[in-house]
Amino acid sequence: MSHNTPIGAQIKTLRTSRNMTLKQMAEATGLSVGFLSQLERGMSSIAIDSLQTIAGVLGVPLRSFFDNEGAQTLDPVIHSFEMPTTEISSQIIQYVLSKSPEDFDFLPRIFQLMPFANSDEDKLEMYSHSGEEFIFVLEGVITMYIEDRQYTMYPGDSTQIQSNLSHNWMNRTNKVARILTVNTPNPLNAK
């Protein structure tokens, strides 16, 4: 599978190759048909735990959605010009900050949120999963949602939460925002 293809398009390709309808996928994953349709069209982003559920239903390892070419090198450094990227949606780009993320207990990533990424509060999918999550704003302004509260976060602001709390973030501004996230346990780790 081409790792330059957005995750939603990869999911659609896998789903249709298995002659599975969106309704069948929704029933198997517990995600709505509308959300899955938006995801496949690149109009919505997805949390790693929901992607893991989809990977299980499709019978593929979670890491198949991420570019890990060249991961087995002796040089552990990822230079800024060679960071592997994954297009989560047309508005969100993910950079995995490890050459072999499946070998570690936590997952460090940078997300680049284009202007107005996830900016429709009515359609914002809240996520919860096992573990802990750390978020640090590198650039821009984001709105962080945790349970029924929202917080405005500026460059240099951070939060650490138990990931079983319902949460998500969005960029409601007209400028790019970049955040550093660290998740544990690492959903790409096969241990």
- CATH number of the domain within which 86 lies: 2.60.120.10
Question: Domain containing 56: what range?
Answer: 7-64
Residue 69: inside a domain: no
C-beta atoms surrounding 94 within 10 Å:
20
Tokens 């007209």 appear where?
174
The verdict on 91 and 51 lying in the same domain is no
The verdict on 131 and 178 lying in the same domain is yes
Residue 38: inside a domain: yes
The verdict on 83 and 60 lying in the same domain is no
Per residue in 15-37, pLDDT (tens digit) is 888 899 999 999 998 888 888 88
- The count of domains in the chain is 2
**Do 133 and 182 meet the contact criterion of CB atoms below 8 Å apart?**
yes
The verdict on 88 and 179 lying in the same domain is yes
Per residue in 146-179, pLDDT (tens digit) is 999 999 999 999 999 999 999 999 999 999 999 9
Residue 190: inside a domain: no
Cis peptide before 84 (omega within 30 of 0): no
**Do 161 and 132 meet the contact criterion of CB atoms below 8 Å apart?**
yes
